[in-house]
Amino acid sequence: MLFFKKKPPFSKQLRITPPVPQANRHGVAVVTMLKDEETYIDEWLIFHQAAGIQHFIIYNDGSTDQTENIIKARLSPNELTLVPWAGRLVDLAAGTQLNSQVLAVAHAIHNFGSAFRWMAFIDVDEFLLPKHGNTIEEALEPVNGFPNVSLPWHMFGTGGHTKRPQGGVLRNYTMRAAKPIGTKKNITNFKCIFNPCAVSEVSVHHFETQQYGSKTCNDAGKVFARKERINPAFYSADNLQLNHYYTKSLEEFEAKIRKGPVSPGTHSMDEKRLQEVLEKRLRTALENIESDLVEDNQIVDFIDKNQIFNI
């Protein structure tokens, strides 16, 4: 057992050496880390299969429910790499706790990245909606091969549901924050799609590449410095949109607060204070989402157009 007088610093960035690309690499792989997601994981898999994801690299953080069985029932062995990923790590020399999600995506890039043209690193409450073409890979054509694409969260709230409604997420939640970027109460963060054979630095919400450093582009291929992503001029969702179903129903939102942080062992503050900070952040985010709402049925239209009958 490790003992510290106080919690060690928290590291969430890793420098890596990208893999050498395979000659026949192609397609888009999704990387995610999850725990106990039996309620909604099947919908997430079905949708992204229909959107053209060829392979799912899933890091299972100690699930105790039926999540793993559902995944194996939905995906063939050719579509799935399932990695046990429970545990938290501390670098003793540096006295630094390591972010388990960042470790997972670095592991995925090193071990599997050479086989794919693109990798997307998202959570299971996030959905990638193609709006140019019929697949995520087709939606990436306008970026002209730029290796680091940042997509802003389109934040969906409770949809007016006090209790969890019957059915899945996508048809039940169609009200989202009107302005993903450019408001004083900006609640947007970003997730990235990247060329795994170009990445030199890994984090949760941003990446760096060997050739372009911290520069990133939007879904239209417009390149900005990373710190300028919050500029309204960066915003675009004409080709590919990232929907983040942040709260779901009020009932589920309160359960999310009670559950606490995903990785409580990988934060520098004590757990009581961390829980307080988390609750304040979540409640503020919900308030900001629902202060200015628009109806967004684009993902439902995609489901109906492509006859995705299981959703």
Average pLDDT of 231-260? 93
Q: How confident is the model at residue 262 (pLDDT cuts 50, 70, 90)?
A: low
Residue 39 lies in a domain: yes
pLDDT of amino acid 257 = 87
Residue 144 lies in a domain: yes
Q: Among 256, 255, 257, 286, which Cα is nearest to 176's?
A: 286
Instruction: Evaluate if residue 233 carries a pLDDT over 70.
Output: yes
Give the Cα separation of 276 and 273 in Å (integer).
Answer: 5
The sheet that has 199-202: what strands, in order across it?
Answer: 14-15, 199-202, 207-209
Domain count, the chain: 1
Sign of CA dihedral 166, 256, 63, 14: positive
Instruction: Evaluate if residue 6 carries a pLDDT over 70.
Output: no
Instruction: Evaluate if residue 90 carries a pLDDT over 50.
Output: yes
Give the Cα separation of 278 and 276 in Å (integer).
Answer: 5
Q: How many CB atoms lie within 10 A of CB 76?
A: 7
Residue whose pair of structure tokens reads 């919690």 in the numeric block: 7
What pTM does this model have? 0.92
Residue 311 lies in a domain: no
Encoded tokens for 37: 């997601």
Q: What is the mean pLDDT of the chain?
A: 91
Among left, alpha and beta (phi > 0; psi -120 to 50; other), residue 144 is left
Residue 3 lies in a domain: no
pLDDT of amino acid 5 = 43
Give the Cα separation of 200 and 109 in Å (integer).
Answer: 10
Encoded tokens for 93: 């020399």
Average pLDDT of 195-222? 97
Q: For residue 271, what is the domain's CATH number? A: 3.90.550
pLDDT of amino acid 217 = 98
Instruction: Evaluate if residue 268 carries a pLDDT over 80.
Output: no
Residue 4 lies in a domain: no
pLDDT digits (tens, 9 = 90+) for 108-161: 999 999 999 999 999 999 999 999 999 999 999 999 999 999 999 999 999 999
Residue 310 lies in a domain: no
Domain residues for 197?
10-305
